[in-house]
Amino acid sequence: MKLNVLRNLSKDEAFYFYASEWNYLRINATSLEDFRDKLKGISVESVNFHLSRGDFEKWIDGTLGDKMLAKQVAELRARNLQGAEARTELYNIITMRIKTLKK
């Protein structure tokens, strides 16, 4: 399971960042670590867009197969976090999960 969650993904499985439904940012993530690293540079509009739709947790659960992390991300959405605060919390949650998986 650990290697599965942290694996490199194909372009078809990658997460594609949008600022809105029709505004693709030309940024994608092909692993959980890549996703975490790219969060730092993603606009808060993109974070808000994907978080409000549940896109992050769907990708984490459905593509990476990490139900625990997906649940933690869903809790952020349930708390209605937005903007820089949401991005920071998401970054921190993912960083902690990566550290746990690498042990």
The pLDDT tens digits of the residues spanning 21-32 come to 999 999 999 999
- The model's pTM is 0.93
Query: Sorting pLDDT into bands at 50, 70 and 90, what band is 3?
Result: low
pLDDT over threshold 80, residue 1: no
79-90 pLDDT tens trace: 999 999 999 999
Domains of the chain, residue spans: 2-102
Q: Say what the pLDDT of residue 103 is.
A: 87
pLDDT at 50 over 80: yes
How many angstroms separate the Cα of 57 from the Cα of each of 15, 46, 75, 87, 103? Answer: 11, 14, 10, 14, 23
